[in-house]
C-alpha cells in the first residue's frame, strides 16, 4: 500500500492522541491526560530546542504553538508582509506580529476581495464617482465625493473590520473558503460621514427594515452585469454612530485593494457588511437578498451542528455581531527571551457592538491565569489594546495563551467553537511560543 505523506497539522486533525505517539512517542499517563513521559517528553523538547516546565498541564493532542504557526510573510505591492491566500480574487492576511500597532497602518491591513478591483480604483481616479440612495426613502439621492465632504459632518474614527471567516483554518473537518488563520482583521482610522446622516437626508420611510449595498468591483468572469457581492444590514445597524461611509483610511485616500474611493465601514459585524467601491445604497422593506446574502454565505446553523454535518439552507442564520476575540501581537511566536527578566506581552481584544471587560494570560496551559492591563477603546467600534509583564519560573519552552471576556461575561473558548459548513466565527484563544533561557 502506498504511504500517504501528511503534515503535522493534518496528523493532529485526524487523531490528536495518535499523532502524539507517532510524532513524539507521547503516551498520556492513565487519569492524567497530557502528561509527557520519558522518551516522549525528550522528543518534544528536542524538537522545540529546550525543556517544557509545565509539561504536566499540556493537553493531549495539542500541537505546540512553535510548530502550529509556520507561515512566512509574502510581500505584495502596497502591502508589507501580508500572506497571500488567493490571487484571483486577491485575498491576503497579516501575520499577528505585524498587527502590533494600536492603529493598523494601510500597508498592513488585510485584503478580502470577492471580485476584481475596478479600473478607476486601480488608477486611484475618483472623477465621476457617485453613490445612489434609493428604495424606501422619501427623496432618492445621488451624491458625489464633494457632496460627502461638504454636505455632511465629516468624522474620523478608529474602527475594526474583521472577515467573518477569520480563523477558518482551525476547523476540522476543513470548511470551504480561504483558509484564514488569524490575520484577517485590522483597526484603521477611517474618515467619512455617518451612514445615518445620509439616510436622514434621504428621509427613511417607516417601512425601511434593511439596507442593500452595491459596489463597482468586477465579476471574475469579466461580465460587468454580474454582481460580485451585495450585502447589507438592519436599519438599526445603519443608524449607529460608528457606522460610516468612508473616503479616507489613516488620513489618506483608501487604497485600491481596500475600496477606493468610498466604502462602508460597519465595525463589529462581518467585514462583508463593509461594502467596498460603494455605488449604491438600496433601502429595503425586507431583509436584503443580494449576492452572498442567502444560502450558506456568511451564515451559521441555528443549532449546534455535528462536525461535517450537512445543514439545510433553511436552518442557516445571517451572522450579525462578531464574537469576543483577542490577539497576541508581541512578541512574535517562537522568539527567545532571557531568563530572569519579565517579558512584555501585548495585543488587542474586541467584540461585536459591545466592549471587552478583562484580558487574561496563562503560561501553564490554562492551569492558572493572570490579568493584563486593558485600555478602553479610543471610540466605540475600535479594538482595545492590552499589555502585561510576564515572568517565567525556569528556563524552557512556554506557551503564552490569551483570552478576552466581554462586558456580557462571555469569554473566548480555548478550542475551536461549534463547527459550521463555511468555517465562520472561530474565536478560539490565541497562543504563542516563547523559549526562555
Domain count, the chain: 2
* Chain centroid to CA 361: 20
Q: Cα separation of 211 and 289, whole Å?
A: 10
Question: Cell 497579516 belongs to which residue?
Answer: 94
pLDDT band at 44 (very low <50, low <70, confident <90, very high): low
Taking the model in full, what pTM does it have? Answer: 0.88
- 281: domain range? 83-318
Q: Is the pLDDT of residue 217 over 70?
A: yes
Is 157 in the same domain as 293? yes
**What local confidence, expressed as pLDDT, does residue 36 receive?**
47
Q: Is the pLDDT of residue 6 over 60?
A: no
Is 195 in the same domain as 268? yes
Summarize pLDDT for 383-425 with one digit per residue, the tens.
999 999 999 999 999 999 999 999 999 999 999 999 999 999 9
Summarize pLDDT for 287-328 with one digit per residue, the tens.
999 999 999 999 999 999 999 999 999 999 999 999 999 999
Is 52 in the same domain as 115? no
Is 120 in the same domain as 45? no
Residue 211 lies in a domain: yes
Q: Cα separation of 77 and 413, whole Å?
A: 36
pLDDT band at 8 (very low <50, low <70, confident <90, very high): low
Summarize pLDDT for 146-172 with one digit per residue, the tens.
999 999 999 999 999 999 999 999 999
CATH code of the domain in which 211 resides: 3.90.420.10
Residue 205 lies in a domain: yes
Residue 11 lies in a domain: no
Summarize pLDDT for 255-273 with one digit per residue, the tens.
999 999 999 999 999 999 9
Pairing of strands 343-350, 325-330: antiparallel
Pairing of strands 130-135, 278-284: parallel
pLDDT band at 35 (very low <50, low <70, confident <90, very high): very low
Is 217 in the same domain as 116? yes
Is 220 in the same domain as 265? yes
Residue 121 lies in a domain: yes
Kindly report the backbone phi and psi dihedral angles of residue 16, in degrees, each rounded to the nearest multiple of 5, phi listed first: -55, -50
Residue 209 lies in a domain: yes
Is 189 in the same domain as 264? yes
Is 54 in the same domain as 101? no
Is 46 in the same domain as 141? no
Summarize pLDDT for 231-249 with one digit per residue, the tens.
999 999 999 999 999 999 9
Is 148 in the same domain as 235? yes
Residue 137 lies in a domain: yes
Amino acid at each position: 500500500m502506498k504511504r500517504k505523506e501528511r503534515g503535522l497539522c493534518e496528523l493532529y486533525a485526524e487523531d490528536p492522541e495518535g499523532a502524539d505517539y507517532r510524532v513524539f512517542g507521547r503516551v498520556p499517563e492513565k487519569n492524567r491526560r497530557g502528561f509527557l513521559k520519558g522518551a516522549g517528553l525528550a522528543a518534544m523538547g528536542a524538537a522545540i530546542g529546550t525543556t517544557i516546565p509545565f509539561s504536566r498541564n499540556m493537553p493531549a493532542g495539542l500541537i505546540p504553538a512553535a510548530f502550529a504557526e509556520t507561515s512566512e510573510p509574502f510581500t505584495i505591492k502596497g502591502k508589507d508582509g501580508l500572506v497571500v491566500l488567493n490571487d484571483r480574487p486577491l485575498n491576503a492576511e497579516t501575520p499577528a506580529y505585524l498587527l502590533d500597532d494600536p492603529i493598523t497602518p494601510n500597508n498592513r491591513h488585510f485584503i478580502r476581495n470577492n471580485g476584481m478591483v475596478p479600473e478607476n480604483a486601480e488608477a486611484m481616479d475618483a472623477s465621476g464617482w457617485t453613490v445612489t440612495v434609493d428604495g424606501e426613502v422619501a427623496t432618492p439621492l445621488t451624491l458625489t465625493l464633494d457632496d460627502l465632504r461638504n454636505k455632511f459632518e465629516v468624522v474620523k474614527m478608529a474602527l475594526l473590520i474583521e472577515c467573518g471567516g477569520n480563523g477558518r483554518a482551525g476547523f476540522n473537518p476543513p470548511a470551504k473558503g480561504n483558509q484564514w488563520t488569524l490575520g484577517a482583521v485590522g483597526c484603521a482610522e477611517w474618515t467619512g460621514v455617518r451612514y445615518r446622516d445620509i439616510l436622514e437626508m434621504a428621509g427613511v420611510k417607516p417601512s425601511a427594515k434593511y439596507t442593500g449595498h452595491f459596489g463597482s468591483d468586477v465579476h471574475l468572469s469579466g461580465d460587468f452585469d454580474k454582481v460580485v457581492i451585495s450585502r447589507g444590514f438592519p436599519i438599526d445597524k445603519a443608524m449607529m454612530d460608528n457606522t460610516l461611509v468612508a473616503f479616507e483610511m489613516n488620513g489618506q485616500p483608501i487604497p485600491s485593494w481596500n475600496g477606493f474611493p468610498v466604502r462602508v465601514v460597519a465595525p463589529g459585524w462581518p467585514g462583508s457588511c463593509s461594502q467596498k467601491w460603494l455605488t449604491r445604497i438600496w433601502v429595503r422593506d425586507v431583509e436584503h437578498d443580494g449576492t452572498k446574502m442567502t444560502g450558506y454565505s456568511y451564515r451559521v446553523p441555528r443549532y449546534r451542528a455535528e462536525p461535517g454535518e450537512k445543514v439545510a439552507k433553511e436552518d442557516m442564520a445571517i451572522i450579525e455581531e462578531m464574537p469576543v476575540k483577542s490577539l497576541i501581537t508581541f512578541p512574535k511566536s517562537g522568539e527567545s527571551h532571557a531568563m530572569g527578566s519579565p517579558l512584555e506581552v501585548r495585543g488587542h481584544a474586541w467584540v461585536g457592538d459591545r466592549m471587552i471587560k478583562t484580558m487574561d494570560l496563562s503560561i501553564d496551559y490554562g492551569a492558572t491565569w493572570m490579568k493584563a492591563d486593558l485600555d478602553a477603546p479610543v471610540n466605540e467600534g475600535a479594538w482595545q489594546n492590552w499589555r502585561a509583564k510576564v515572568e517565567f519560573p525556569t528556563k524552557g519552552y512556554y506557551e503564552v495563551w490569551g483570552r478576552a471576556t466581554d462586558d456580557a461575561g462571555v469569554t473566548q473558548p480555548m478550542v475551536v467553537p461549534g463547527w459550521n459548513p463555511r468555517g465562520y466565527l472561530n474565536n478560539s484563544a490565541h497562543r504563542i511560543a516563547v523559549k526562555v533561557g
